[in-house]
Amino acid sequence: MSDPKPRDPDLQKALESLERTMRDAPRKAPEPEPDKNPPRAVVIQLPLWPEPVRGAPNTLLRSAFFAAIHSKRRELGERINPDEPKQGVIIAAQDGIRISYAGDQLNQYDADVFFEALHRARRHTLGTEGFFTGYDFLKAIGRAVGKLNYQDLNNSLRRLRDGRVEIAWKINSRKYKFEGGLISKHVREQNSRLYKVTFAEEIRDLFAPACWTQLEWDERMALKGKPLAQWMHSFYCSHAEPFPLSVAYLYEKSGSHRTLLKHFKSDLKNALATLEKVLGWKAIWEGNVLTLMRQPSASQIRHLNQKKAGIRKRKHRELTSVSDLFG
């Protein structure tokens, strides 16, 4: 075969230059393959309780935090340094719960507002804004629609936002703590007049397992305007089994403004009469000790049955271990 024809010198130089450029160019790292199973974002929500009930933290139900009083409130907290926030006062609470609070005293109306706002937030991610109309909200808490009731709602949401609370509690050997305002943010939009409410993610700790109760909302609304009856309904619904309590204990934990215990006992008897008439609850007195009988909720019945089953299993294991000694 004959030798190939010589290349054009200019073409040869261009090819050699291209080879050097390709050889010396930095090599690009291969693109990583997309993760077929990317990690899912953690969604922090309240428990999804059913529509007829309202979820409520036991720490607040078992204390004087939402006091059994009417509209005459006290300003709680002490300002030691004018440049620093108020120091909270200790709120009477059941053993195992410690509450410190600074702000306008909260009552059972504020409890209605708080529980309803939580109810609307339960389907959304905590930390995001929830929207509602004042008309719809007032209807849900059993209030008429009017200028003064809108003002009451605004003031209650402000109290829940501005009050500073610290709650520490222990249950089933686990310790919990919450600090801040019960509502993180609250505004009423000027154009649409919509209410915008935000709960911080930390509010979820108040709804840890065995730390909250489902309140029958129609029962609570039937007691509207009777703060001590409402407080007792919340307090006793947060316990599965009836147990005796003294008048003095209920006086302290309810946050009553009564100066004398005998006057509170008179209020207590009126509240018990309301609970018996409206809900069919029954009071049993032994001196100044009260046992309040009521029908437990479906979830509480399941809890009691599980508790009884656990006791039977434990007794069976104990009997079996004793029989082994004589086997």
pLDDT of residue 190: 82
In this predicted structure, the answer to whether residue 311 has a pLDDT above a threshold of 50 is no
Phi, psi torsion values for 187, nearest 5 degrees: -140, 160
| Spatial separation of the C-alpha atoms in residues 270 and 253, rounded to whole Å | 17
pLDDT of residue 203: 97
In this predicted structure, the answer to whether residue 135 has a pLDDT above a threshold of 50 is yes
pTM over 0.85: no
Per mean pLDDT, which range of 53-67, 208-222, 288-302 is the poorest?
A: 288-302
pLDDT tens-digit profile of 208-246? 999 999 999 999 999 999 999 999 999 999 999 989 999
pLDDT tens-digit profile of 178-210? 999 999 999 998 888 899 999 999 999 999 999
| Spatial separation of the C-alpha atoms in residues 66 and 106, rounded to whole Å | 5
Q: Which long-range contacts (CB under 8 A, 24 or more apart) does 179-184 make?
A: 182/114, 183/114, 183/117, 183/157, 184/127
Query: Which has more confidence, 36 or 317?
Result: 36
Identify which of 249, 229, 238, 290 has the alpha carbon closest to the alpha carbon of residue 68.
Answer: 229
Dihedral angle over CA of 100, 104, 106, 109, nearest 10:
-160
